[in-house]
Every structure is written in structure tokens, then in C-alpha cells.
Amino acid sequence: MRRMMTAALGLWLGCAGISLAQDTTNPVVVELYTSQGCSSCPPADALLAELAPREDVIALALHVDYWDYIGWKDSFAAPEYTMRQKAYARAVGARSVYTPQIVVQGQEHLVGLRPMELADLIRAHGAKPSPVRLTLERAGGAVRIRAEALGNPLRRELIVQLVRYTPEEVVEIMHGENAGRRITYANIVTSWQPLGEWDGAAPLAMEAPAEGDGPTVVILQEEGPGPILAAARLR
């Protein structure tokens, strides 16, 4: 069944043109809000796993904790990811949060599994020139962050955020809505840390702790949370 679903997801992505090479210097951030206790989430988790290897997409799974009460505690969930999802809801005037939800580049909100629409959004955002040049470099147990505004001044200050994630883990779920399932999760966010603000008037040069050789992502995003103007990753 999983093999059939994966093949179908690949077909959806291919039909939408999402498998074509795109500009990897301007990757599109795709956030999936999910839960191990949500019966509707496994297809979305599989879709994120399809996106995870791509260089032109930064796919991130944020596990929320508000389904933990229904019989299974999500081992990846953290209240700060629920808070981030609620902040997105407030920013667009929504009264509730739900899973699965996908947010593209901090701007587009998709309810449930809508792969064709997701493919179109990734392609559209990937084609837009970034107003910021962002580069990362490892420096021992830290990451050096360099950014420069291109062309017009920035509309608003940007929040500089450091994200770490685990590329893959398999979970056997014993209770709750997904009881008896063995699910592979991809790009599981383990920390999301704001580092400071940047107004773009002068080039940004900063260094932040990033121990280990696991993937490291830096995201420059308008407050709100609002649009993501630039993102970069070290795998």
C-alpha cells in the first residue's frame, strides 16, 4: 500500500512539473504541520518525504502536540511548533488550527493533501528572484551567516531563524488513530531558534552555535510570521 501511495505521489509531482530542475540558490520553504496521532496525516508525511531530497525545496516537518490527548503522544512534538502554527493562523485571521497543514514560503496555506496545488506554488515561488542573497558556512561548532539586500530596501525587518532537523526516523505507533502503523517521517524539526533581527540596511554577518554535522537551515522571514524572503541550508 505504501509503495502504491509513493508512486502516486511521484506521479502527481511529475504531472505538475515539480520534478524539473529549478534554481537551487533560492529554495522554497515548505512547512508541514503534522502529528503521529492524526489519521489524516500519513499521506502528507509521505508527500513531504518525496520533497525532502530536493535541493530547490527546504521541506520541514513540525510536529504539533494538540493531538497527544487522543491516545498517542507524538515523540517529535513540541509546544513551540504548535505556537508557530497558531501564529500563522492569527496572521491570516483563522480561528483554528488543524493537521495536516502545509505553509509555503510563509505565505500560502494549504489544508490537507493538495499535491497539485503545492507543486504549482513551489514552482511559482521558486521562479521569483529573491530580494536577499543568503549564504551559510560551517565554522567548527557554529554556522556563519552572511546576507545582503539586493536592489530595493526591505519593506520590514526580517527575523533571522536557525532550524535544525533530523532527516529520517521510523516510528511504530502503538495506540491512537494510527495504531498498528509503522510510519517513516522525514526532515523532522528538532529546534527552531530566532537569532535576531536584520533591517537590510547593511550586510548581515553573524555566527550562531550549530553543533554536530546534521542539517542546518537559516530562514529570513518577516515578522508575523510573514513571507519568507530567503532561506539556505547546509546538509
Which of the following CATH numbers is that of domain 2-234: 3.40.190.10, 3.30.1330.10, 3.40.30.10, 1.10.8.60?
3.40.30.10
Reported pTM: 0.90
User: What is the model's pLDDT at position 24?
Assistant: 56
* 9's grid cell: 505521489
pLDDT, position 111:
87
String of DSSP letters for 88-156:
HHHHTT-S---SSEEEETTTEEEES--HHHHHHHHHHHHHSPPSEEEEEEEETTEEEEEEEE-SSPPSS
Give me the pLDDT at residue 35, please: 98
Instruction: Please list the pLDDT of the chain residue by residue as tens digits (235 residues).
Output: 344 344 444 544 544 444 434 445 789 999 999 999 999 999 999 999 999 999 999 999 999 999 999 999 999 999 999 999 999 999 999 989 999 999 999 999 998 889 999 999 999 999 999 999 999 999 999 999 999 999 888 989 999 999 999 999 999 999 999 999 999 999 999 999 999 999 999 999 999 999 998 999 999 999 999 999 999 999 9
